[in-house]
Structure 1
Amino acid sequence: MAEVRYKDYSVLNYFAFNFAGFACIAIVVFLTATQPFYIKEVIGIEPKPGSSKDSKIGHIIGALGFFDELTSMISAPFLGGLIDKLNALGFGGSRIVQSSSFLIIVISLFGYAVINRSLIPDMFIFRCLFAFGVTACMSTVTVTLNEVTSSDFSLKMLSFWTKNSRGEHPQETADLPHDSAVVRSKKNGGFAGILGMCTGIGAIASVCILIPLPVEIVDWTGTSAKQGLKYSYLVVALFALVSMLILYRFLYSTGSSVIQDAARGHTQTYWKMIREGFEFSKNSRDARLAFAGAFVARATTVATTAFIPLVVYNFYYSKGECKNSSWSEKDSCYEGYKFAAILNGVAQTVALVSAPLWAYLVDRFGKNTIAIASGLGAFGSLGLSCNTNFEKYNPKTVSCFFFVSVIGLSQIGLVICSMSTLSGISNAHSIIGSLSGLYSFCGGIGIMVIILFGGIIADSWILGPFFVLGLFNLTLLGICFFYKKERQQRIADDESNGPIAI
């Protein structure tokens, strides 16, 4: 396949690239964290432990998550193929798809706030629409990471206070030959690490600003908890609309700057591009390892944002502090809501602070870093799930904060390592959208399993989802060791057959 290079990649393009991850994750964290409270306050379904399963919020969250990820899994490969096709035709597919994704998110959040009246079918419809928008955005992230990695952009260009820093670098890169060796020498751990930091900042911003919005609106306006939640969804919809405009204006467009065989986009069909990406991944260990990492990384992200609030909600409800419908009352879920935000905030803060470390490890050890991240994930998840009381768990303990922090550390590590592994494949630029779609597809499978089975288990074993997550991490760790052993065996065979040509 032809090597692709992207010219004139600016600082504003790079900021937009990172802002997309920031905005999308902030909105996702808000929606997943507020779901238990939205179901109770807006839909009017009370959690009743010990009653029929239809009244259990764990089952409802599991069902919503199932359809969310079913939508994501179905759409991700086709969205990736669409990006490849638009790029090949010179239309800048990544820019079009990623900016448009926020318009879909706006429509979904508006539906939650204004149109939604029932659990079925309204809430399921808008949740699936939301999932489609998020998938369109996150499927593009790996593509845009590949673009910046393969461009003439350097992190040195961010030193705008240095004289001629913007002008010197492009001249230097313009003199370089456009071959794969040049691109391969450019490590992408730094780009992935900064992107990971931005997504972490997005999660923290959501915890600090977006998630407390319903409570703040109730305090400011004196309205009911139900109206406070609806108004908060409108505010977040406005944020998504502004994000769409920013991305459309400043995202890098490959339309006029990509060096490739232009005829390819006209001769290869949309379906052939998707099939080509699938065939490539079957023969690429790096792609398969990235897909496995995506499975566990996405499962970890959802476990922290969806099941930590559920654990907290269950604890406060068992204490009799979730009875009233108004958050202004002392014995309502106000304190539970705040504590869930604090616990999630701890995990996301650890993730944010550790992002530069993971970026360094990726550049230093490459894809072997996935083993470190999965090992930490197994330790944190299994450690948290080791509790003698299956029905309830007190999250206000030092051990809970410790294990949640380890899970947050693993989460960002898995995200950075898996994205770096996929975007660093040097001979797949023309099908990177299709590979990214498959990457999101595998991540969707991880989320579907953890949400579906975790939601069912949570009603009987409140920490059960984290035990399942621990098993995921152990499996990924085993895959890493298997690939490493296989690679060592291959090197040994090559050496036994004679010197390796360089």
Structure 2
Amino acid sequence: MINTNYTFKNLLAFNVSGFACVAFIVFLTSTQPFYLNEVLDINHNLGNIIGNLGLIDEILCILSSPLIGTLNDRINTSSWRLNGAKIIQFIGFSIISLSLFSYAKLINSLNKMYFVRGVFAIGVTSIMSMIPVLLNELSNSDFEFKKIVFWRRRHHHRESNEVSNKNGKYSALIGISTGLGAIFSVSMFLTLPVRLNDNYPNLSNKSSLQLSYLILSILSIIVAIYLLIFLYNSNKSNNQVVNPESQPLLPSTKPNYLQLLHHGIKISSNNSKIQLSFVGSFVARSTTVLTAVFIPLWVYHFYHDSGKCDALDKNNCYDGYIFAAILTGVAQTIGLILSPIWGILIDHRKVGSTLCLLLSSILGLVGCFGICFNSNLDPRNFHTFFFVSLISSLQIGSVITSMSLLSSLQSDTSIGSLSGLYSLCGGLGILILNKVGGLWSDSWILAPFALLGAFNILLTITSSYNLYK
């Protein structure tokens, strides 16, 4: 099927989805320690509590993502007027709005916080599980970048049923959007409580933080309504043209929920490119944990053990926090700059997604083991910035290429189930690196880098096999 009448408004809504979701994730995860302290008056065992909150996130992601993905396929094979991705995106942001409202008004105990964080995780999983589905709609559409010149009226649709090779560029675009969402959240959302405090001196720290959650709750429901209106609706009968070269993945009879889930698993077990995208998702999501958690932990460990923290308060490592922010900030900026380059390489007929995934895994290997085998544990040197930048290149490269591989499937019948399995593999990567890497880092601070390096060996072998078979 080729989706016709795909407009710039649909493309913008798709990118707003990734932008907004990541922005809300960054805000909530970054403010958790302050919420525990200011709102719930908890100032002990914060690390253990935050770790448990993250564990709840990933367990629910692993359990729910295949079910949510298959729900998309179930809606699309029913007589609904709206397609599954559009509905699930609306529900996902509505759930995020409800959870943020609960943070603002309803939570008064740690147990309630655990429950609401689980609700938030379901909302995030719903949204992120639909990103490859939305990308698949775009990749198999008649959209062309010249449609962005919205003042030029197009009188004729493309007559060819062939989809132009822009899948990599579309994947890079959503990669850039999510990266910008994280930057926007750090600069705007995270500073919101402080700005509220400055403008309204009568507000306490607790009240300003709760008010920030309330404001973002309202913003989330606005995003949900916006997406319900402007996301592409592939279920309109006049929106699709049959490509004679594409084969349906299921018979025309309407399958039930379990049949859809089983069929998605069957397709992935018989398609090496889909399997490769799953391995790419596993490595990509693992890399986000290394960047967000274990690089700052390494920096803090060095500053603490070398006596470079505050002489009067060893727990005050302000300089360490500043350096960790600079290190990760530089790496993330380099990754953001490389996004369009990965997109161009993916679409190049002599390169493609599989070779790009191989290249990104090799960069990750050099970055991870370069840090592990560096005898100098002091991160304040050029080598560290170089190797961490390679790891960031791995992160953005594996995200974009794995999504590109999955979304290039030219049928939407089981794309939701496959997208759910894709998210499940990513959740497993996060869970394993978090727990195994965290435990191992107590005896060797660079252990998470070695573990991610091992993951990249797997990705290198898998992508090499797919490239040369």
Q: Deviations over 1:157-187 (max 9, x none)?
A: 11335x44x334x2xx2x22x4xxx23x534
Q: Which residue of 2 aligns with 1:86?
A: 75
Q: Does 1:237 align with 2:217?
A: yes
Deviation at 1:386, TM superposition (A): 5.1
Distance in structure 2 (CA, Å) of the matches to 1:431 and 1:40: 45
For 2:216 and 2:296, the matched residues in 1 are separated by 19
What's 2:432 paired with? 449
435-444 vs 103-112, which moves further: 103-112
Question: Match for 1:439 among 400, 408, 422?
Answer: 422
Partner of 2:254: 267
| 1:105 aligned residue | 96
**Which residue does 1:296 correspond to in 2?**
283
Distance 1:460 1:43 in 2: 33
- Tell me which amino acid in the other structure corresponds to 1:306: V
What's the CA shift for 1:368? 1.4
Which among 293, 296, 305 is matched to residue 306 of structure 1?
293
Q: Following superposition of structure 1 onto structure 2, how do residues 180-259 of structure 1 map, counting pairs within 5 Å?
A: 182-183=162-163, 185-221=164-200, 226-256=206-236, 257-258=239-240
> Aligned partners of 2:31, 2:304: CA distance in 1, in Å?
16
CA distance in 1, matches of 2:316, 2:219: 29
Alignment of 1:81-480 (within 5 A): 81-89=70-78, 90=80, 91-119=82-110, 121-160=111-150, 163-164=152-153, 166-168=154-156, 170=157, 173=158, 175-176=159-160, 178=161, 182-183=162-163, 185-221=164-200, 226-256=206-236, 257-258=239-240, 267-311=254-298, 341-364=325-348, 365-366=351-352, 367-385=354-372, 397-426=381-410, 428-480=411-463
Residues 13 and 69 (structure 1), Cα distance of their counterparts in 2 relative to 1, 3 Å cut: same
Deviation at 1:457, TM superposition (A): 3.5
TM-score normalised by L of structure 2: 0.86
1:67 — aligned with what? Answer: 56
Residue by residue, what CA displacement relative to the aligned partner does 1:38-71 show, whole Å, maximum 9, x if unpaired? 4555555557xxxxxxx371x4443322221110
Evaluate the alpha carbon distance shift between residue 43 and residue 382 of structure 1 in structure 2; reply closer, same or farther with a 3 A threshold. farther
1:464 and 1:37 map into 2 onto residues whose CA distance is: 29
Q: Secondary structure at the match of 1:430?
A: coil
Take 2:326 and 2:404, find their aligned partners in 1: how far apart are those partners? Answer: 30
1:266: how far off? 5.9
How big is each residue's C-alpha offset from its partner over 1:313-370, in whole Å with a ceiling of 9 and x where there is no partner? 666777655999xxxxxx9677766665544432332222111100011112112110
Counterpart contact for 1:297–1:443, Cα < 8 Å = yes
Q: What is the CA deviation profile of residues 280-329 of structure 1, one whole-angstrom value per residue up to 9, with x for unaligned ones?
A: 110000100000000011111233233445456666777655999xxxxx
Which of 18, 21, 24 is matched with 1:21 structurally? 18
Unmatched runs of 5 consecutive residues or more in structure 2: 243-247
The 8 Å contact of residues 300 and 469 in structure 1, kept in 2 or not, is answered as yes
Deviation, 1:408, is 1.9
CA 1:373 to 1:299, structure 2 compared with 1: closer, same or farther past 3 Å? Answer: same
Q: Which runs of 5+ in 1 are unaligned?
A: 48-54, 325-330, 488-502
- Could you report, residue by residue, the CA deviation over 1:210-252 in whole angstroms, capped at 9, with x for unpaired residues? 2333444455555665555444433433332222122111101
1:410 deviates by 1.5
Letter paired with 1:167: H
The TM-score, its normalising length taken from structure 1, stands at 0.81
Distance of aligned partners of 1:280 and 1:36 in 2 relative to their CA distance in 1, 3 Å threshold: same
Query: Structure 2 CA distance, aligned partners of 1:208 and 1:482?
Result: 43
Matched, 1:12 2:9: yes
In 1, the alpha carbon distance for the partners of 2:207 and 2:312 equals: 18
Aligned equivalents of 1:196 and 1:235: distance in 2? 26
Contact 2:273–2:466, Cα closer than 8 Å, also in 1: no
- CA separation in 2, counterparts of 1:349 and 1:110? 32
**1:242–1:454 distance in 2 versus 1, CA, 3 Å:** farther
Does structure 2 retain, via aligned residues, the 8 Å contact 1:33–1:306? no
Secondary structure of 2:413's match? helix
Distance in 1 between residues matched to 2:200 and 2:317, nearest whole Å: 18
Q: Contact (CA 8 Å) 1:190, 1:359: kept in 2 or not? A: yes
* Distance (Å, rounded) in 1 between the aligned partners of 2:325 and 2:373: 23
Q: Could you tell me which residue of structure 2 aligns to residue 328 of structure 1? A: none
Moved more, 334-343 or 468-477: 334-343
